[in-house]
Amino acid sequence: MITRQMVQLSFMLILMSSYLVGNSQAQLRIGFYAKTCPDAENIVRNVVGEAAASDPNTSPRLLRLHFHDCFVEGCEGSILIQNVPNAEKGAFGHQGVGGFDVIDKAKAQAEAVCPGVVSCADVVALAARDAIVLANGPSYQVETGRRDGLVSNEALAEKMPDVDDSIQVLKAKFRDKGLTEKDLVLLSAAHTIGTTACFFMTNRLYNFPPGGVSDPSINPQFLPELTRTCPKNGNVNVRLDIDQGNGQKFDNHILENIRNGFAVLRSDASLYEDATTRSVVDSYFGFLAPILGPSFEDDFAAAVVKMGRIGVKTGSQGTIRRVCSAFN
């Protein structure tokens, strides 16, 4: 005879089984689209390659787009939305972020082959990896299975890391995302490719607190070059390489610049003012570093993979957008 207790036990077992299955399916994993859309990664890779061939700024734009997406609501594509009032894309902290057209094109091609399968969030993560490779950076396997978020509001981007943040503020912002001081150094080193505008240099060159002069951490040999490129009351839209002397190739040259006072951005320079982050920077240099030291390329790839897990939506969470710039 079936008792009430037996029915209750059976129900509990079904619930536990459903929970475990849900959890096992709600994880990022390498090769998530192997069966549902086996050409997904090749589609993204080809689109990124075509874009980079016609515009050398494609790689830094796509890498920065991935960072900015993950640092707000998590890696869920909220930065891509344009069809709602006050969308996140318009936030002050996202000024200069680009690469949206590349993501849209890759998503459209994936939709044509596998409709409703590949998320925009995953397209962003895959495109960043391919962009790094094209800039001579390390290749790594991208965990996929992200779903797209349902919220996009510029107010949510207020806590984005900023070029004028102190090292203490930067460490706190990264810590809030589950990232370490080492991750802070490595992800900042993404500035080895790309440019910035004089707009972001004004305070550092002409209004640095407390005296309203230039940042004393700038190497005296480097300061005249910066002020020539970005003169006081000059055109704030003029752009300069963030990694002076090596702005198109992905490597650890920017960390060498930071050590020597040749950092362009204030946030990068601050990495050498804190004992913990300074030791991370120094670990990639020295006489025996090439043999016994850590691998900058491997560590950077690990940091990007770790960043790519921030606030992800998986399983039944979120949605798969048909168009990356609009909610379904």
pLDDT digits (tens, 9 = 90+) for 89-119: 999 999 999 999 999 999 999 999 999 999 9
Look at residue 10 and tell me whether its pLDDT is greater than 80: no
Averaged pLDDT, 193-211: 93
Tens digits of per-residue pLDDT, 249-260?
A: 899 999 999 999
- The per-residue pLDDT for 212 is 83
Q: Are residues 150 and 175 in the same domain?
A: no
Cα(174)–Cα(166) distance, rounded to whole angstroms? 12
Last residue of a domain, one of 157, 180, 199: 157
pLDDT of residue 26: 54
Q: Is residue 194 part of a domain?
A: yes
What's the whole-model pTM score? 0.90
Same domain, 128 and 243: no
What would the two tokens of residue 165 be?
A: 């943040």
66, 68, 94, 253: which one is catalytic? 68
- Residues 74 and 117 both lie in one domain: yes
The answer to whether position 77 is within a domain reads yes
- Same domain? For 78 and 127 the reply is yes
Tokens of 66: 């991935």
219, part of any domain: yes
Q: Which helix (H) or strand (E) holds 318?
A: none
Question: Is 96 part of a structural domain of the chain?
Answer: yes
298 is in an annotated binding site: no
Q: What is the pLDDT of residue 102?
A: 98
Contacts of 87 (CB under 8 A, 6+ apart): 81, 152, 153, 154
- Per the structure, how many domains does the chain have? 2
CB atoms within 10 A of CB 107: 27
Could you tell me if 112 and 213 lie in one domain?
A: no
| Two tokens, residue 278 | 């300074």
Q: Is 68 an active-site residue? A: yes
Q: Which of 239, 59, 218 is nearest to 131 (CA)?
A: 59
Q: Does a structural domain hold residue 139? A: yes
Model confidence pLDDT, tens digit, residues 264-311 = 999 999 999 999 999 999 999 988 787 888 999 999 999 999 999 999
Instruction: Tell me how far apart the terminal alpha carbons of the chain are, to the nearest angstrom.
Output: 51
189 and 113 in a common domain: no
247 and 283 together in one domain = yes
**Rounded distance, CA 199 to CA 238, Å?**
8
Residue 247 pLDDT level (bands cut at 50, 70, 90): confident
- Assess if residue 291 is contained within a domain: yes
Residue 192 known to bind ligand? yes
Residue 207 φ/ψ, nearest 5 degrees: -145, 40
Was 158 annotated as part of a binding site? no
Same domain, 172 and 277: yes
Domain span including residue 135: 29-157
pLDDT of residue 12: 47
For residue 18, the model assigns a pLDDT of 39
Mean pLDDT across the stretch 148-162? 95
pLDDT for the residue 203:
93
Query: 10 Å Cβ neighbour count for 188?
Result: 26
Place 5 in a pLDDT band, splitting at 50, 70 and 90: low
Percent pLDDT > 90 in the chain is 85
Q: What pLDDT was estimated at residue 70?
A: 98
Question: Do 43 and 150 fall within a single domain?
Answer: yes
DSSP state, residue 141? P
Q: Is 124 annotated as a binding residue?
A: no
Instruction: Tell me, yes or no, whether 18 lies in a domain.
Output: no
The conformation of residue 86, written as its DSSP 8-state character, comes to T
Same domain for 142 and 270: no
Reduced to 3 states (helix: H, G, I; strand: E, B; else coil), residue 105 is helix
Q: Is residue 138 annotated as involved in ligand binding?
A: no
**Which residue among 136, 157, 178 closes a domain?**
157
Q: Amino acid identity of 62?
A: L
Tens-digit pLDDT profile for residues 24-71? 335 899 999 999 999 999 999 999 999 999 999 999 999 999 999 999
Does 243 show up as a binding residue in the annotation?
Answer: yes
Residue 196, in any domain of the structure:
yes
* 103 and 69 inside one domain: yes
Same domain, 67 and 145: yes
Contact 189, 300 (CB under 8 A): yes
**Does 74 appear as a known binding residue?**
yes
What DSSP assignment string belongs to 216-273?
TTS-TTTHHHHHHHS-TTS-TT-EEESSTT-TTS-STHHHHHHHTT--SSHHHHGGGS
CATH label of the domain that carries residue 246: 1.10.420.10
pLDDT confidence band for 3 (50 / 70 / 90): low
125, 144 contact by CB (below 8 A): yes
| CA contacts within 13 A on the Cβ side of 292 | 3
Confidence band, pLDDT 50/70/90 cuts, at residue 211: confident
| CATH classification at residue 102 | 1.10.520.10
Residue 142 counted as an annotated binding residue? no
With 50 as the cut, is the pLDDT of residue 16 above it?
A: no
* 299-324: average pLDDT: 97
Segment 232-257 shows an average pLDDT of 93
Ligand-binding site membership of 88 (annotated): yes
In a 13 Å sphere around the CA of 82, the CA atoms on its Cβ side amount to: 7
Q: Is 147 exposed, middle or buried (0-12, 13-18, 19+ CB in 10 A)?
A: buried
